């Protein structure tokens, strides 16, 4: 009789203690949805012309808070004509880098003192720059 009571109590204790433990559910890895590329390289839209680059540089500067749009031309000097300081010059350089998705060296960034100089730092096809030089 003792063995029957002992085995039944052990069996009840064993099953009740295991029943209280939560069971782990299997982790299923599902295939991700097809990724869509953010940028396409290769044969894309035609490169920008010099005039388009200059226009976009002027638009970046017009959006800058401290620039008076009425004083803005391609040859406006950032410090003397527009009243900007060196920190503003750095912010403008960063904005131009972001606009055209380029990275300028520190030496090139220091040379940017006018919108025309900024536009000249943006890579354009050689033929477009050559034609602009002929027109002048």
The segments of the chain whose pLDDT lies below 70 read: 1-46, 125-136
- Identify the pLDDT of residue 11: 59
Q: Is 85 a catalytic residue?
A: yes
Exposure string of 61-70, with b = 16+ CB inside 10 Å and e = fewer, is beeeeebeee
Domain that holds residue 60: 50-135
- Identify the pLDDT of residue 50: 87
CATH of residue 106: 1.10.1200.10
Q: Could you give the angle at which helices 50-63 and 86-100 cross, rounded to 10 degrees?
A: 130
**63 domain-assigned:** yes
- Identify the pLDDT of residue 20: 57
> Which is catalytic among the residues 63, 65, 75, 85?
85
Residue 56 CB neighbours (<10 A): 17
**30 domain-assigned:** no
Tell me, yes or no, if the pTM score tops 0.85. Answer: no
**131 domain-assigned:** yes
- Identify the pLDDT of residue 124: 72
**120 domain-assigned:** yes
Give dist(CA 95, CA 64) in Å, integer. Answer: 9
């Amino acid at each position: 009789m003792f063995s029957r009571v002992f085995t039944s109590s052990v069996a009840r204790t064993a099953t009740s203690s295991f029943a209280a433990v939560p069971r782990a559910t299997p982790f299923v890895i599902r295939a991700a949805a097809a990724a869509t590329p953010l940028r396409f390289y290769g044969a894309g839209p035609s490169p920008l012309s010099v005039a388009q680059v200059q226009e976009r540089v002027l638009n970046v500067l017009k959006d800058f808070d401290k620039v008076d749009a009425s004083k803005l031309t391609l040859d406006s000097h950032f410090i003397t004509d527009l009243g900007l300081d060196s920190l503003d010059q750095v912010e403008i350089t960063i904005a131009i880098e972001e606009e055209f998705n380029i990275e300028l060296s520190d030496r090139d960034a220091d040379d940017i003192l006018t919108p025309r100089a900024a536009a000249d730092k943006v890579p354009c096809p050689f033929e477009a720059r050559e034609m602009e030089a002929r027109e002048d």
